[in-house]
Amino acid sequence: MANYLIGDIQGCNLTLGKLLELVDFSPSKDTIYLLGDLINRGPDNVGVLRRLLSLGSSAKSILGNHDIHFLSVEKGLKNPKNGDTIQDILDAKDRKELTLWLRSQPLALLAHRYLMVHAGVHPLWDTAKTMALAREAESVIGGPDYEEFLKNMYGNEPDAWSENLKGMDRIRFIVNVLTRMRFCSPTGTLNFTAKSSLSAGPVGFSPWFEIENRKTKDQLIGFGHWSTAGGTQKNNVVCLDTGCVWGRGLSAYRLAEEGLEQPSEHPTQRQGQWFTQETLEPPVAFLE
Ligand SMILES: [Mn+2]
């Protein structure tokens, strides 16, 4: 009965297979939690999705920005971007089934004491609020206003949270936090101008998990999305994006069974065990 958090797969199905062998994954006993960006930039997106579907309830996924981007390309609302590799899903005979499955995946999960998101958690949201807002956005992505959402989801505004946000502005903000956020101000303003190293944020902004008084500071959180933060394990957060598609590796973090942890001042450090499979796919540069 092992539970694993796994970072951004991005179509690296071969590496995912090897990682599951490495941890001796048994679908009848174990559960893997995939932290979003299941597809894109890597070579075998169809393979990843079919594998996850076939694993049923032993693989639980959340959506990342690349997964949602695919939905808007699939719907014909966006052209593929330079470096996108999602054509294999568009050409697949089970395209419709795979797309429907993606649309029904959540934006956040709460399991084994971990809050799981692709990118981050807003400093003004506690765990219950985060889950409630994720459910709000999921019902739009999986519901009849789906096309309206895809038409309106691109954009960095609004950049601050207010309970009064309504309609697509509200949904866009929720999705931006959960699937794209990296840097944030202490009062919760988002900034999307910087993407690289943790220390290279714009003046006045920090990585979201370093905001001192964020409301989830006592909540264990697993996330992906930020390959330069991959392996980070502090402030109760653990970042699983270890840059598989950039030629580095795909990581799984085995959660300790509840009640069996060793006491430690750093809850994430007493919990998990890391496994990393070196990337087996060709470097992403060769795919572009
Ligand atoms: Mn991402």
Percent of the chain with pLDDT over 90: 88
Residues with Cβ < 8 Å from 186, sequence gap 6 or more?
123, 206, 211, 212, 213
**pLDDT of 261:** 53
The per-residue pLDDT of the chain, averaged, comes to 93
CA–CA dist 31, 59 (Å, integer)? 6
241 C-alpha to ligand 1 centroid (Å): 9
CA–CA dist 224, 282 (Å, integer)? 21
pTM: 0.94
Task: Compute CA distances 154 → 117, 120, 164, whole Å.
Answer: 19, 18, 20
pLDDT, average across residues 214-234: 96
Percent of the chain with pLDDT over 70: 93
Confidence grade of residue 288 (pLDDT, cut at 50, 70, 90): very low
The answer to whether residue 23 scores a pLDDT higher than 60 is: yes
User: Do residues 272 and 221 touch, judged by C-beta distance below 8 A?
Assistant: no
261 C-alpha to ligand 1 centroid (Å): 30
> Is 59 strand, coil or helix?
strand
Neighbours of ion ligand 1 (CB under 5 A): 37, 64-65, 225
245 C-alpha to ligand 1 centroid (Å): 11
197 C-alpha to ligand 1 centroid (Å): 15
pLDDT, average across residues 225-230: 95
| The architecture CATH gives domain 3-287 | 4-Layer Sandwich (3.60)
Q: Where are the domains of the chain?
A: 3-287
| Chain segment 230-276, per-residue pLDDT in tens | 999 999 999 999 999 999 999 999 998 766 555 555 555 456 899 99
Higher pLDDT, 283 or 87: 87
The answer to whether residue 150 scores a pLDDT higher than 90 is: yes
